[in-house]
Amino acid sequence: MVDSKHSVDILSLLKKRTSFVSGAEIATTLGITRAAVWKRISRLRKEGYSIEALPAKGYRLAGVPEFSVKEALSSLGQLKTFSADNILFYPALASTNATAVEIAGTGCPDGTVVVADAQSAGRGRMARIWNSPPGVNIYMSIVLRPAIAVRDAAVLTLLTGVACAKALHHCSGTEISLKWPNDLLIGNRKVGGILTELRADPDRIQFAVIGIGINVNYHKEHMPRDISEIATSLAHESRMRFSRTEVFATVILQMDKWLNIFENHGKKPVLDEWLTLSSTIGKKVTISTHRGTLHGLAEALDDEGFLLVRVDDGSLQHIHTGDVTYV
């Protein structure tokens, strides 16, 4: 990771100047050879940075990429869980969750994030497809190794919903609501989804991989028809394009904040915030599971975050899982 750190240092050096910086000066400042400077400049260009080079003058930063996790992290300062060194960006992956599970299995640190510009096999719950075209959206998976009881792990999914809803609202000004457990909605349409995979020993979490997909600049006309009826994007709702870099940075910032709250104060503040952001409680709902469909009134969350539904025969059911639709 030394290499990428030097790339960040070159960037901050170039950003401080509006004019050219000589290769010699960069080399001396960072304590590396001019050949190494050239190598890292090439890498930055590959990542989408536009860097001018003139003989005898040196280098000048002329533009930053439309989506850069490096830019995102450099704007955030010191975080508790996340750092620029542990954010891995890929132009394309089969699935960020699959890659994150793989590297988590080989022992990557807590707070590692896998980000892709496109996915060829993005997936949702029950092996459903998550549409993942390039250039418009955010597909990311966060590896966490929380020191919490295995039975409390499911709260992470509500926490991620809270952090993402806050982040998307902050970036777009649009009202974002949560549908239990953690669908991100604008109005009645889905703007983002979260799928978490957990590996655990009986007494200890090995890792959780939290996959997040956010439709940022996804054009409605480019969505498959069955998706466009139920999905939307930030851009579609706000009639403007958003910086994926900024949206990503805000999601990371909110995740860092809420993980910290959870670690220090437990489940309650997470559940309380979820309740203020949710559109589910008080609604008539239909819940479909493999076993069938259930109708009732979504009354509350229990202490674990499970949905309490008053069904038609008057009994209160604890719902662990299932697709919730508002009636």
Compare residues 23 and 211 and give the one whose CB is closer to other proteins.
211
In whole angstroms, the minimum distance from the beta carbon of 236 to other proteins comes to 24
Give the 3-state secondary structure of the chain. Answer: CHHHHHHHHHHHHHHHCCCCECHHHHHHHHCCCHHHHHHHHHHHHHCCCEEEEECCCEEEEEECCCCCHHHHHHCCCCCCCCCHHHEEEEEEECCHHHHHHHHHHCCCCCCEEEEEEEECCCECHHHCECCCCCCCCEEEEEEECCCCCHHHCCHHHHHHHHHHHHHHHHHHCCCCEEECCCEEEECCEEEEEEEEEEEEECCEEEEEEEEEEECCCCCHHHCCHHHHCCECCHHHHHCCCCCHHHHHHHHHHHHHHHHHHHHHHCHHHHHHHHHHHECCCCCEEEEEECCEEEEEEEEEECCCCCEEEEECCCCEEEECCCEEEEC
State in angstroms the smallest separation of the CB of 151 from other proteins.
5
When the beta carbons of 66 and 197 are compared against other proteins, the nearer one is 197
Give me the phi and psi of 186, to 5 degrees please.
-115, 120
In the complex, what is the shortest distance from the CB of residue 271 to other proteins, in angstroms, rounded to a whole number? Answer: 12
- Which CB atom, from 263 or from 302, has the smaller least distance to other proteins? 302
Nearer to other proteins, 197 or 246 (CB): 197
Q: At what angle do helices 267-277 and 155-172 cross, to 10 degrees?
A: 50
Q: What is the distance between the alpha carbons of residues 231 and 176, in angstroms, rounded to a whole number? A: 13
When the beta carbons of 61 and 212 are compared against other proteins, the nearer one is 212
Nearest CA to 79 out of 15, 158, 188, 163 is that of 163
Measured from the CB atom, is 26 or 210 closer to other proteins? 210
CB of 278 to other proteins, least distance (A): 13
- In this structure, what token pair is assigned to residue 56? 């005898």
Q: Minimum Å distance from CB 98 to other proteins?
A: 13
Q: How far is the CB of 62 from other proteins (least distance, A)?
A: 43
Give the shortest CB-323-to-other proteins separation in angstroms. 10
Give whichever of 64 and 176 is closer to other proteins, judged by the CB atom: 176
Closest contact distance (angstroms) between CB of 295 and other proteins is 18
**45 vs 125 by CB, closer to other proteins:** 125
Q: Kindly list the residues in this chain that would bind other proteins in the complex (CB under 8 A).
A: 125-127, 150-151, 153-154, 156-158, 180-182, 194-200, 202, 208, 289-291, 304-306, 320-322
